[in-house]
Amino acid sequence: CSKLPSAVKGAPGGHRKFLDLQKKYPGKFKYANSEQAPDAVEVYRRALAAQPDGSVVVCSLGFLSNMRALLESKGDDISPLDGKSLVAKKVKKWVAMACFYPEGHEYNTDGDAVSSKIALRDWPTPIVITDFQYGRHLYAGRAIVESDIENSPVKDVFKGMGVTAAGKTGTGEVAGKDNYAWYVGYAPASKPKYVCACIIEQGGSGATSAAPAVRSVLAKALGKDAKHVSGASTHER
């Protein structure tokens, strides 16, 4: 994958809460906002045009707006090929952080649903979806929060995320009945203080029913809102 700038124009607005970090850490950010960054489509077209045919693996995180814009771009002085033809010629595959099977709704695809539909429908090479459920229980950040690192915007972001829980989901099959859901979790993950186990008869999967229940119990025990306890599950049903 080619190295791209840390921000590009064209992405939908939002995430305004992170603007305070720019004020606290002047000089740490290459671009203060997307208006100062290169245009996303131009960055993609230049990166693709410069690479051997069929050699590029595109990895995307976030909304798919720029992927749609790339496909719909016209030929220019960078390449006479339109966006879809350029992708077909240069890209081996696209790995997208998107979707949530089987429910469908997921933040990155819902954020600009129209662009997501067009990009996923019209992309001319193979697509690998890194589904929400693949990484839903893999939480990063605890190591840096517990480290001695100082003056770090990354550490500040994770410190504001609340308490991290840990645990294990399970789904039991019972003949003639819906699946039994279970989850065993504890928190805080780094220095456990509370543990909770939950079994829901005919509750479906552990991740979508038992885990949220455990998270709510752990949050109550810790005196926090459930949304500030991560790790048990980030999906409510």
What single string gives the DSSP state of each residue in 152-194? -HHHHHHHTT-EEPEEEEEEE--TTSPPEEEEEEEESSSS--E
* Rounded average pLDDT over 20-49: 85
Torsional sign, CA 153, 186, 229, 98: positive
pLDDT at 119: 96
| β partners of residue 39 | 9
| β-strand pairing of 91-96 with 56-60 | parallel
| pLDDT of residue 44 exceeding 90 | yes
**Structure tokens given for 110:** 């819902």
The C-alpha R_g of the chain, in whole angstroms, comes to 21
More confident call, 137 vs 185: 185
Average pLDDT, the chain: 81
Whole-Å CA distances, 128 to 43, 46, 53, 89, 152: 22, 23, 19, 18, 33
Maximum mean pLDDT: which of 10-14, 29-33, 101-105, 181-185: 181-185
* Rounded average pLDDT over 54-74: 95
More confident call, 157 vs 50: 50
pLDDT at 162: 65
Band (pLDDT 50/70/90 cuts) for residue 171 is: confident
Maximum mean pLDDT: which of 17-26, 66-75, 143-152, 185-194: 66-75
> How far is CA 204 from its chain centroid?
24
